[in-house]
Structure 1
Amino acid sequence: MPWTLVSEVKTEAIDVSGNFICSNIEAVKQAVAAGLGIGQIPVNNMVCELKKHELIRVLPDWHGAPMPIYLVYRPGVNKLKRVEAILEYLLSIQEQFEFTPDLHLCQPAAFDRSEMTSNQERKKRSHWPTLCYPS
């Protein structure tokens, strides 16, 4: 599955290849920092690395396509105060996750699609694209 990158004027699907598959953001960040390639990761997971210039953002005018976030709970559970609190919080911050290039960043890591299962494909889609590489 290609990475979908979005700019202010267009959307591009970019085919990527490689032999590193990972659904853990920290592991992808470490792989990128080790020089294994480029990849995708939320910018909030790379603040320190960016400030220290350990990773550098690539294609700053592009970011990953918006992705839905789901909160799943049993019927009737939303009556609990803690569930209501998290629902209210998520609704209050949802605007931060609209088209905001500064909130998205990718880490270097290539993915070998030939070895991905359908479950791995779904996990792959959860990455946010904006490209970075180790400095």
Structure 2
Amino acid sequence: MELLRNMSLFVEVCKVMNFRRAAESLEMPSSTLSRRISKLEQDIGLRLLHRTTRKVELTEAGQVYYERCKRIVDEANLAHEQLGAMLEQPSGLLRASVPVDFAIIYMAPLLAEFTALYPGIQIELDMTPRQVDLVSESVDVAIRMGTPPDSNLIARKLTEFKSQLFASPDYLALTGMPEHPDELKHFDCIGFPKVDKWILVKGEESLAVAIGGKFRVNNVGMMKRLSVLNQGVIMLPRSAIEEELEHQQLTPILENWHGLSLPVFALTETRLLPAKVRVFVDFLREKLAYQER
């Protein structure tokens, strides 16, 4: 049991590569943590960590040992948690990194229902645009738009979006209704920064349409607002502008055409998810899958 405990301490140190931060997370003195890791190295007979006053680094043996130990520790924690879950609801602080537009438009209406189902879970959302490091920043799950790049993270698909074209009735009264995507070059199009063309699809046909206009913005709420104020055409999922459609502030154009599918993934650092993360990801997947995107 002492060996397993020391292995788990070693894994916690490796996650942050800092004895002080790991000790704070474990709520134990740094000296005790250092002594336990030294004992582990003595039991194994190999140096696992290079320690200096400035940094901690894994040795070659330490890297191999960490990859093995992490799976063992994760399995042990999961087994312990699953037994506990038989007696009580999932609980604890759930930290999620989420794109701001996705959080406001899609997640906000679902969070009240989720917390009613799992009152023991508290949710902390990081809605900054930066790409967080799940391990070093202790983030449980990250929601990302688009196919994630190859990495060691585990990706679970939640849903996908198909965007359509919309503009305000007053703007279209001035410009006329386009009959073909090629005509969009004569319209003000409000797109994301660094995007100079839209890919539009109809059946087997696909077109790359150059877009121009006065505005490029990286916020869906601002896009919608500008379009409602008669500033041009936007391309968004219909589900993102339901309120504007209901109040007839925006109207669809070129309805037979749509953008490429945009998948949405939940990224986690491991397949062995704590109960609070597992129920959160499963809840989002279930709720988003049955709604027209």
Q: Identify which of 68, 72, 87 aligns with 2:281.
A: 87
Equivalent residue number for residue 32 of structure 1: 227
Q: Identify which of 221, 243, 251 aligns with 1:56.
A: 251
Confirm or deny that 1:5 pairs with 2:200: yes
Deviation at 1:31, TM superposition (A): 0.5
CA distance in 1, matches of 2:251, 2:275: 42
Gaps of 5+ in 1: 104-135
CA distance in 2, matches of 1:21, 1:39: 11
Name the SS of the counterpart of 2:267 in structure 1: coil
CA distance in 1, matches of 2:257, 2:210: 16
Per-residue displacement from partner, 1:111-132 (whole Å, max 9, x unpaired)? xxxxxxxxxxxxxxxxxxxxxx
% same residue? 20
Residue identity matched to 1:79: L
CA distance in 2, matches of 1:96, 1:7: 23
Per-residue displacement from partner, 1:43-65 (whole Å, max 9, x unpaired)? 11211211221111011111110
Deviation at 1:75, TM superposition (A): 2.7
Confirm or deny that 1:72 pairs with 2:272: no
CA distance in 1, matches of 2:287, 2:202: 22
Equivalent positions of 1:14-29 (< 5 A) are: 14-29=209-224
Deviation at 1:18, TM superposition (A): 2.0
Distance verdict in 2 for CA 1:86–1:53, change over 3 Å: same
Q: Identify which of 232, 235, 242 aligns with 1:47.
A: 242
* Structure with larger RCO (C-alpha < 8 A, sep 6+): 1
Root mean square deviation, CA, Å: 2.4
Length, aligned pairs only: 98
Name the SS of the counterpart of 1:46 in structure 2: helix
CA distance in 2, matches of 1:54, 1:94: 25
Per-residue displacement from partner, 1:70-122 (whole Å, max 9, x unpaired)? 3222236x52122212332344467558xxxx63xxxxxxxxxxxxxxxxxxx
Gaps of 5+ in 2: 1-195
Residue identity matched to 1:38: V
- State the structure with more CA Rg: 2
Equivalent residue number for residue 124 of structure 1: none
TM-score by length of 1: 0.61
CA distance in 2, matches of 1:44, 1:94: 11
Name the SS of the counterpart of 1:85 in structure 2: helix
Distance verdict in 2 for CA 1:4–1:83, change over 3 Å: same
CA distance in 1, matches of 2:284, 2:201: 24
TM-score by length of 2: 0.30
